[in-house]
Amino acid sequence: MKFTSSQALARAFALQTAATPWDRATAFDAVIDQTISSQQIVGLTVIAAKSGRIVYERSAGFGDREAGRAVEPNEVYRLASMTKAVVCITALALIQKGKMSLDDPVSRWLPYFRPGTRDGKQPVITVHHLMTHTAGLTYGFLEAEDGPYHKLGVSDGLDNGHLTLEENLRRLASAPLLYEPGTSWGYSLAIDVLGAVIEAVAQARLQDVVKTLVTDPLGLESMAFSVPTSTVVATPYADTQKPPVRMTDAFSLKFDQGSIVYSPSRAFNANAFPSGGVGMVGTARDYLTFLEALRTGGNGILEPAIVSAFASNAIGNLSVSIAGPGYGWGLGVAVLKDPNAAGLRSRQGSWNWSGVYGTSFWVDPSAELSVVALTNTAIGGMAGTFPTSLRCAAYAD
């Protein structure tokens, strides 16, 4: 893999801390204090940037409750689906270099990946369909436990199995598409497929392409698909009861029609395939740096026009079911089209996503605001009182 890019230029990117206190800091503190004292969340880190400077940064609770270890200032968390934005930006960097295009059929790069519909049709799936979750795919945890993904043994990327990425995608290609590509929106394994496309285009492992085009240029040393066993990573918990329970491998958590199966040890398994959808770990500060690089125009890893496309609705009026009313979808993130319909005070054009280990972020370009909230508690850290209250606190009168 050989790329000549503006990596050296981008590597200088770093966030500075604001000289004056942020007027929303007290409101953020109140949300965090309530969240930890009520035992909704075991441990968390919240960091926010306003107008290009860090205005808030706080860690609270336990990184490992049973060991009595408090969350460290640079705690590493399992990012889960916050990985998707990083992988989509990697794909866009390849597109910017002319190595691939949004209109490329996936089969051009992955000849074996040709799933069909239930009625026997074999439609063309494009890179655009993958990045916008309109390819007709889904996740195993979103189907009933006797569904085709389960019968075929398709991995959602969270377990600690021994499949290769190609083996997993061959199984996925054997399952029928849920709908004709481009006609609906469905959260899915599409970004895992995109990861394989990236590997084929760059002729390199996904983790190496991400490192070359995104994390190294921005100096994001903590963000990776696996880490050495000596690395301290936040212990994950599940809020199936209060206080939340510690996760172990093959921990099952009911979700939608099915269940999410977590294997926390995957973060230390360098042999596990790199899941483009859910596979990365990292710190809140590094992820904020990534978001701010995008919010401010790409910082050398992408041109501003491509960043704008990434964070603009790309699916028309299709309904983004998981995000809820008022949302569209860009080339890797949910995009707020109608704040009133969503019941939010964030501005139109804000973009966000979250992860099933209990993580979330949002970027409000109009307010020049980016916020990352990483927790070690599923699902409440992703979708519940805490992220909702935190977002309200950023805009309260």
- For 171-219, write each residue's pLDDT tens digit: 999 999 999 999 999 999 999 999 999 999 999 999 999 999 999 999 9
Token output for 93: 């960097």
Residue 5's pLDDT band (boundaries 50, 70, 90)? very low
Q: What is the pLDDT of residue 162?
A: 87
Pair 276, 90: CB distance under 8 Å: no
Pair 279, 95: CB distance under 8 Å: no
Q: Cα–Cα–Cα angle for 286, 276, 44, nearest 5°?
A: 40
Residue 10's pLDDT band (boundaries 50, 70, 90)? very low
Q: What is the pLDDT of residue 314?
A: 98
Residue 14's pLDDT band (boundaries 50, 70, 90)? confident
Sequence-ordered alpha helix ranges (H) in 97-189: 106-109, 127-131, 148-152, 165-174
pLDDT tens, 33-69? 999 999 999 999 999 999 999 999 999 999 999 999 9
pLDDT tens, 130-163? 999 999 999 999 999 899 999 999 999 999 988 9
Pair 48, 253: CB distance under 8 Å: no
pLDDT(313) > 90: yes
> Position of tokens 């992703």?
382
pLDDT(77) > 70: yes
Q: What is the pLDDT of residue 174?
A: 97
Residue 6's pLDDT band (boundaries 50, 70, 90)? very low
Mean pLDDT (the chain) is 95
All domains in the chain, ordered by first residue: 7-80+215-307+356-393 (3.40.710.10)
pLDDT(11) > 60: no
Residues known to be catalytic: 81
> What backbone phi and psi angles, to 5 degrees, belong to 337?
-95, -35
Q: What is the pLDDT of residue 161?
A: 81
Among 72-76, 119-123, 269-273, 367-371, name the one with the lowest average pLDDT: 119-123
Q: What is the pLDDT of residue 59?
A: 98
Among 2-16, 75-89, 248-262, name the one with the lowest average pLDDT: 2-16
Name the percent of the chain lying above pLDDT 70.
96
Name the percent of the chain lying above pLDDT 90.
91
Q: What is the pLDDT of residue 3?
A: 47
94 vs 162, which has greater pLDDT?
A: 94
Single-letter residue type at 52: G
Mean pLDDT, rounded, for 379-384 = 94
The dihedral sign for the CA sequence 329, 334, 337, 341: positive
> Position of tokens 């690089």?
293
Q: What is the pLDDT of residue 196?
A: 98
Burial of 259 (0-12, 13-18, 19+ CB in 10 A): middle
pLDDT(7) > 70: no
Residue 396's pLDDT band (boundaries 50, 70, 90)? confident
pLDDT tens, 253-295? 998 888 999 999 999 999 999 999 999 999 999 999 999 999 9
Single-letter residue type at 363: V
Residue 374 to residue 287: CA distance in whole angstroms? 10
Q: What is the pLDDT of residue 265?
A: 98
